[in-house]
Structure 1
């Protein structure tokens, strides 16, 4: 994996790019599940998507959405939510064609630069996303602080109608990064 930070920029999401942003986000999230489980994975939120359109749209409405740009080419996106000294990374994705080039790490560094007032960042990722877990812990400096599962459900999530009997699709790690300044 590339340890260097890619030379990227974050551009605010434009209204006319919202549809493509959603499609690109779903493609990137589906790639991770298919890479891990193959075509047998069936814990999709809606219509064969790991992340539902409604989830992405709600995140865009609640937060700040950005396109990740590399040499004027769209290579991903991010949505964050900031409230004073607390920040939440709602969504971060890099196009599967651009993986392992330092783009995600560079995007995260830019997010921290945009919001130097944030002292505590949080995010979540599914239990099976080993690539994401590695990224947040080993690259970005987050700590795993909680494991949501059927015995310890995420208090911020409503009961999902797509949840299976085992609650497997609800297993998520919660991460926290404390910025010491």
Structure 2
């Protein structure tokens, strides 16, 4: 897969419903693998995705491999502080394991070169994500959330199983 060209494109408004379904399918696969059948409704919810994708500074990106849609990301860019966040990031389930995620992350870093700090979150059960962010992309774990110290900005475990324990990561650029 190393010879595949990975690029980014701003998601078009007419592509957003498909983008959301693909993101939810990718997130659901990990939750189902860990916890079994999903609770009612998609994970993350349409409301959470809409809120993230329309927030101030939000940029919705399509990840392309040789021009073919293979994933996406939602980033929040703060031009005043250059402290930016990776709110959602996914590679389609049938594309996992080929190095596309790492190439996509490098492309995101190149797209926003003024970034001083990147931040992201992931639940503790997502060991593959933890490996990716820490060992591949160079993030550091800077905060741990749990039942006694919940993430003030995160979803509740009623909405998203397994998020009562989560990590916050930062990458200094």
The TM-score with structure 2 as length reference comes to: 0.89
Structure 1 segment 1-181 matched on structure 2, within 5 A: 4=2, 6-39=4-37, 42=38, 44=39, 46-47=40-41, 49-62=42-55, 63-84=58-79, 85-157=82-154, 160=156, 162=158, 168-179=162-173
Spell out, residue by residue over 1:99-152, the C-alpha distance to the aligned partner (whole angstroms, 9 max, x if none). Answer: 011111111101110111101010001111011000000000000111111111
Which consecutive segments of 4 or more residues in structure 1 shift more than 6 A?
A: none
Unaligned runs of 5+ in 1: none
Q: 1:70 to 1:143 in 2, by over 3 A?
A: same
Asked if structure 2 preserves the Cα contact closer than 8 Å seen for 1:6 and 1:106, the reply is: no
Unaligned runs of 5+ in 2: none
Tell me how far apart the structure 2 counterparts of residues 157 and 79 of structure 1 sit (CA, whole Å): 16
Q: 1:168 to 1:100 in 2, by over 3 A?
A: closer
Tell me how far apart the structure 2 counterparts of residues 5 and 174 of structure 1 sit (CA, whole Å): 32
Q: 1:5 to 1:65 in 2, by over 3 A?
A: farther
- RMSD in angstroms over aligned alpha carbons? 2.1
Alignment size in residue pairs? 169
Q: 1:19 to 1:150 in 2, by over 3 A?
A: same
Tell me how far apart the structure 1 counterparts of residues 126 and 142 of structure 2 sit (CA, whole Å): 16
Asked if structure 2 preserves the Cα contact closer than 8 Å seen for 1:5 and 1:102, the reply is: no
The TM-score with structure 1 as length reference comes to: 0.85
- In the TM superposition, residue 35 of structure 1 has moved relative to its aligned partner by 2.3
What is the SS of the residue equivalent to 1:24?
A: helix
Tell me how far apart the structure 1 counterparts of residues 142 and 32 of structure 2 sit (CA, whole Å): 26
What is the SS of the residue equivalent to 1:60?
A: helix
Q: 1:73 to 1:114 in 2, by over 3 A?
A: same
